[in-house]
Amino acid sequence: MALTSRKRAFIAALREGASNRDAAVAAGYSEKTASAAGSRLVKDKDVAAELMKLRALGLMPPDVKGDVKADVKAGPAAKSSKQTDESAASPRTADDPADPEPADFDLMKVLLHRDPKDYLLSVMNDL
């Protein structure tokens, strides 16, 4: 069976950090049966395949049982109004980059150390 609109909404909520139960509620399942529905949906072969694909592509964190974001529970209408408020309240500055740059990795610095512990100590102490 293919991914239905509810299954797609469930996957989208999981990508945003919701728990299985909260993702089921966001997908339109009843609050009373959301826990069972979330458990059932995670085990569904189509949903499991889509989640595995998203994890392999790096579009979803490997562990999604972390803290549930408040905007996932609020729904899409509250999220869009929250985004417009944030964009108006905090303009970007030159010191605040959109995406942080990855840390530099210098292979020559690694090769200078024979002991991995010495290398890790030098990295930790910014030497």
CB of 78 within 8 A of CB of 29?
no
Q: State how far the alpha carbon of 41 is from the alpha carbons of 36, 44, 50, in Å.
A: 9, 5, 11
Q: What is the mean pLDDT of residues 48-77?
A: 68
Q: What is the mean pLDDT of residues 33-50?
A: 93
CB of 7 within 8 A of CB of 41?
yes
- Residues 115-127: pLDDT tens digits? 888 888 887 887 6
pLDDT at residue 75 in the model: 61
Q: What is the mean pLDDT of residues 2-6?
A: 90
d(CA 40, CA 120): 44
Q: State how far the alpha carbon of 59 is from the alpha carbons of 16, 26, 68, 111, in Å.
A: 10, 19, 17, 33
d(CA 117, CA 67): 34
Q: What is the mean pLDDT of residues 37-53?
A: 92
The pair of three-digit structure tokens given for residue 123, joined into one six-digit string: 């990295």
Residue 109 has pLDDT above 60, yes or no: yes
pLDDT band per the 50, 70, 90 thresholds, residue 65: very low
